[in-house]
Structure 1
Amino acid sequence: MSRYTKKRYNIHDVVPGMEVADLVLTEDGKVALSEGATLNFSNIERLKYWGVTSLMIKGPIEPGPELPNEPMGPLNQQQQKFFQKYDMAVHAIRNAFQNMRYFKEVPIQEMQELAEQAIEPLVETVGVVNHLQMAPREDDYTFHHSINVAVMSGVLGKWLGYNSEEVKELILAGLLHDIGKTQVPLEILNKPGKLTAEEMQVMRSHSTLGYQLVRSIQQVTPAVSYAVLQHHERMDGSGYPLQVKADKIHPYARIVAVADIYDAMTSDRVYTNKTSPFSVAEMLVQEMFNKLDPNICTIFLNNVRDFFLGSIVKLSDGRKAEVIYLGQFTGSRPVVRTDEGEFIDLEKRKDIGILNLESRQG
């Protein structure tokens, strides 16, 4: 249980030093500040500019008159609903994957219903990137990863301007992209250590195995099938299984590839710990002009960066800091303010990096 109260304040009554209690969203659904961010003069003025009229503040706080108290604000309720739907989707994909492992058939109707009834509402949720990052995750990476990639593929499709039917296909493509892993031996799939060359070859076969499972299913379009087959292909031909290049890679596969990389690197797995979103953003910038589609990466980074503002991070020198300015379009090396009040532009201080995001403590 949190040991603080939440009170809604008018934007004109908040003062620097107050701590934000819930996500603050702009009128168009963009994340303006994360929960736990500390207000300062610049971000208060930015909120006013974006048309934010009120926000939840952690108490007890003395300055300023209070608006009616909301012990469970609408964003918290929305987040709880998101987590419930997310948890149901993870359990559903777990059951489906287990059945596929033994029966070697894709329950396509069940998967389509899961995509439309469970995952599509998650994609449409305001603040989806934040909710997805904070969603409680159980030990089994594969099931969470399939849901996460389905959600992020749908979100990316929306950001790219795809129509509703195409977004539905992208969600299904993300959901099915790793189904070939149901045919990979569990001792390889769940191996905690580094895979041998032979084991890696077996693991890499999952894209081909997945394609073989879906290519003859009438309800699965060729576009979705190609996304399953090609999500590990790279624009320079360095991917697998066929080493095809650029225009030979289906657009859906390029979208799923970005969603796949982002979620894989920002998640804890059996053989490696998660990487901070900032480091992943740097990696995407490095690879967006040779291995990944630069347009998709640019759209992704320009939108997902909204999650970073106001986040608390741990720096490579051990200090904690708050992200106060994102700088260049990627936001991969932002300006931060340490607990001691020092401002650091990480774009200029290459000797300091961000290790990870810090969880909020109530």
Structure 2
Amino acid sequence: MSTLTINELKPGMKLNNDVFTARGNLLLPKGKVLMPRDLKILHAFMIDEIQNGIASTTAAPTTEMPLAESGIPAASRSALRIKFEKCYTEMVQATKQAFQSILAEELPIYKLRNQMEELLSYSREYNVLTFTPAYMKKEEYVYHNAVLTSLTSYRIAQWMNLPAKEWMQVAFAGLFHDIGNSKVDPDILHKPSQLTAQEHEEIQRHTLYGYELLKNVKGITDGVRIAALQHHEKVDGTGYPLRLHNSKIHVYARIVAVADIFHAMTLSKYYRQAQSPYLVLEQLDSEAFGKLDPMIVTTFVHKVTQFHNGTRVRLSNGMVGRIIFSDRDHPTRPLIAVGETIYNLMENRKLHIQAVIPG
């Protein structure tokens, strides 16, 4: 069994076996030809030696070729993104019209379904972490939150292996979860300062209002109506309006709760700026114990961070780099390459990802 220290490794050497972190996560796969950056990754993980890990030396590569995002040509991908963004904007406006007229008119459910189906046809272009609405007015926050919660809830339903026939209904649950806000005084809803106890109670009534508004709407299931009622319930029974425990909360409501909280914290509001999506994921993870469904949270966090090696990010110190490795046990604290320097966010707790840079 051959053993080489980290200082003996050279670019161009080929791994005979997988290399794992101290926590047992795959760091570099068998057959990998070592690049200069791989050696820095090994240093970042404080790996001192590789046992039986090196095959023959090959010609040292001079550059690292980036992986393509998909097999679709860049021009076609750009066109699809433009179509997605156009459909998204149209969906937001349709949602705004529906919410503003719900007190006087019947909810145009079939029109909304057609627009939602068109938007979902481009859902491959929707990245939960990197998509940011263009030119979002803060007074339209509730409509953007509705559409984004809808898209994310749809994605979570797929990740949770719900039957395909339920995916659209879960999307509706996300779209309509806050429709009860249409009956809340806008001055209270958009108040930039702290709410009084009476105003807070009125805000909480939006769950009851939402259920009442959806009660007789055709084309949606009871799960959609119940999600509007229950999406602020907590699995430990401390939520509202009914203080239900986990087993009593509908799965649609548990899904929507996760999606809603994520987007509520990563969108700008009157009284709060948007937060880092990675910090929000960490907060969601901590909320999972006693507040949110832990299975849904764990699935959501791991799925949205699973395919982001190469993603450009801005760190909390202002530096811009790329994610080069994500530990499955700590997906919100990956390794970041900034130029020739690698930052291990698992070890450096003072740094965090401030923003994901689309592109």
Give the TM-score, by structure 2 length. 0.75
Secondary structure class of the residue paired with 1:133: coil
- Residue 105 of structure 1 deviates from its aligned partner by 4.7
- Structure 1 residues 89 and 53, CA gap change in structure 2 (3 angstroms): closer
Match of 1:208 in 2: 208
| Count of aligned pairs between the two proteins | 299
How do 1:187-266 residues align onto structure 2 when only pairs under 5 Å count? 187-266=187-266
Deviations 1:178-228 (A, max 9, x none): 100100111112223332332222112111110011123343321111111
Q: Given that residues 230 and 240 in structure 2 are in contact (C-alpha distance below 8 angstroms), is that contact kept between their aligned partners in structure 1? A: yes
Question: Which of 83, 88, 91 in structure 2 is aligned with 1:89?
Answer: 91
Query: Mean alpha-carbon deviation: is it higher for 327-336 or for 178-187?
Result: 327-336
AA of the residue aligned to 2:108: P
- Residue 109 of structure 1 deviates from its aligned partner by 3.5
Match of 2:104 in 1: 103
- Residue 45 of structure 1 deviates from its aligned partner by 7.4
Structure 2: distance between partners of 1:152 and 1:137: 20
Structure 2: distance between partners of 1:330 and 1:172: 32
- Residue 142 of structure 1 deviates from its aligned partner by 0.8
AA of the residue aligned to 1:240: Y
Match of 1:3 in 2: none
- Structure showing greater relative contact order (alpha-carbon pairs closer than 8 Å, 6 or more residues apart): 1
Secondary structure class of the residue paired with 2:332: coil
Structure 1: distance between partners of 2:223 and 2:350: 44
- Residue 283 of structure 1 deviates from its aligned partner by 0.9
Structure 1: distance between partners of 2:129 and 2:235: 31
- Residue 153 of structure 1 deviates from its aligned partner by 0.9
Deviations 1:111-130 (A, max 9, x none): 33333x334324xx324225
- Structure 1 residues 55 and 272, CA gap change in structure 2 (3 angstroms): same
Structure 2: distance between partners of 1:342 and 1:213: 55
AA of the residue aligned to 1:99: S
Match of 2:127 in 1: 129
How do 1:1-362 residues align onto structure 2 when only pairs under 5 Å count? 47=67, 73-100=75-102, 102-103=103-104, 105-115=106-116, 117-122=117-122, 125-129=123-127, 133-139=131-137, 140-306=140-306, 308-339=308-339, 341-358=340-357
AA of the residue aligned to 1:208: L
Secondary structure class of the residue paired with 1:326: strand
Structure 2: distance between partners of 1:289 and 1:131: 23
Q: Given that residues 316 and 355 in structure 1 are in contact (C-alpha distance below 8 angstroms), is that contact kept between their aligned partners in structure 2? A: yes
- Residue 169 of structure 1 deviates from its aligned partner by 0.7
Please, what is the CA RMSD of the aligned residues?
2.7
- Structure 1 residues 120 and 319, CA gap change in structure 2 (3 angstroms): closer
Structure 2: distance between partners of 1:54 and 1:165: 28
Q: Given that residues 129 and 307 in structure 1 are in contact (C-alpha distance below 8 angstroms), is that contact kept between their aligned partners in structure 2? A: no
AA of the residue aligned to 2:312: I
Structure 2: distance between partners of 1:46 and 1:312: 12
- Residue 309 of structure 1 deviates from its aligned partner by 3.0
Secondary structure class of the residue paired with 1:147: helix
Structure 2 unaligned segments of length 5 or more: list them.
1-34, 39-62
Structure 2: distance between partners of 1:132 and 1:166: 26
Identity %: 32
Q: Given that residues 154 and 167 in structure 1 are in contact (C-alpha distance below 8 angstroms), is that contact kept between their aligned partners in structure 2? A: yes
Secondary structure class of the residue paired with 2:121: helix
